[in-house]
Homo-oligomer: A and B are copies of this chain.
Amino acid sequence: MSTMVWTRPPVGVISMAYARPFTAEHVPLFARMRKAGMDFVELLVPEEGEIDPARAGTAAREAGLFVALAARVNLQRDLSSDDPSCHADGVAYLKRCVDVAVAMGARIVGGPLYGAPLVFAGRAPAPIDEARRQARVERVVRGLKEAGAHAAAHGVVLAVEPLNRFETDFCNTARQAVELAQLVGSAGVGVMLDTFHMNMEEDDLPQAIRQTGAHLVHFQANENHRGFLGTGHVDWPAICRALSDVSYAGPITLEPFRRTDDRLSVPLAQWRPPAHDEDEDLAHSGAFLRACLHTAHRS
């Protein structure tokens, strides 16, 4: 049993579990999230016209939730791009994310901030020669340094997330994300991990968490297929012991957006709204995770 005091991480939910896009009409969902035991909501950084950041932040706080943010990159907002306008738009977007975070009172902006989307941009993996590889890394590091300075100046942290091999061809593992954060070397840039992607790419999930160590500033707890916790094969007690080992005290987001419609020819990777009220399932995922976190620290 560890004798160290560990501030147990707050547990929240991604807005996509309820609605996408998340607009003013969805503000009453904050109270439901809180009632389901959530400590915070992870919102997608709003696009123009989706929701007013300051009002959304205030509404969340009034419902008893704090806010974390998830950035949305694409081929036009792409630090890795060899098109200077896409790279510049990527930097400008990350700075705007920081400004939105300030307006909302959020401290974390996470996601595949380096850009380079694959399947969701309709892009197939293709070989990258060594000169282009180095140039991509250099552009991403340069862009993250600039955005990270803006973040640090405003008390915000940009959390770089490795994605699985089909969602990006830039950064797939915790080791790569730590390497990237070290190359950037900014107080405004850390690492986030998502067990959905880790389940595909890591040799050993708990070990990857331990090796990320103090770089870890955000975490997403998802089953192998993105269902509610306990419906798949992710080893939650082992994950929580690793989080305890590195004294992780940042947010942990649940993203249960796998839907139960399992008919042939229904695209599983396409987001769909819930078919029924999932609040009780969400509450149990939160309770499950908190129990694992509690027990992990006592082991």
Contacts and interface: CB of A to CB of B under 8 A. Distances in A.
A166 B122 CA distance: 11
A175 interface: yes
Interface residues of A, number: 54
B128 A265 contact: yes
Contacts of A266: 128, 133, 169
A15 interface: no
Contacts of A265: 80, 116, 128, 133, 136-137, 140, 169-171
A224 B169 CA distance: 18
Contact of A268 (B172, B175, B224): B172
Contacts of A121: 124
A211 interface: no
Nearest to A238: B233
A270 B170 contact: no
Interface stretch (A17-25, A100-108, A200-208): A200-208
Contact of A179 (B137, B180, B264, B272): B264
Contacts of A225: 200-203
Contacts of A6: none
Contacts of A201: 224-225, 268
A28 interface: no
A173 interface: yes
A84 interface: no
Residue from A133, A137, A165, A199 with most neighbouring chain B CB atoms (10 Å)? A165
Interface of A: 80, 116, 118-128, 133, 136-137, 140, 164-167, 169-173, 175-176, 179-180, 199-205, 224-225, 227, 231-233, 235, 262-270, 272
Given A118-B119, A119-B125, A140-B265, 13 more contacts: A128-B265, A133-B265, A137-B264, A137-B265, A166-B166, A166-B167, A169-B266, A171-B264, A179-B264, A200-B200, A201-B225, A202-B224, A205-B233
11 contacts: A125-B267, A128-B265, A136-B264, A136-B265, A165-B268, A169-B267, A169-B269, A170-B265, A175-B262, A199-B224, A202-B225
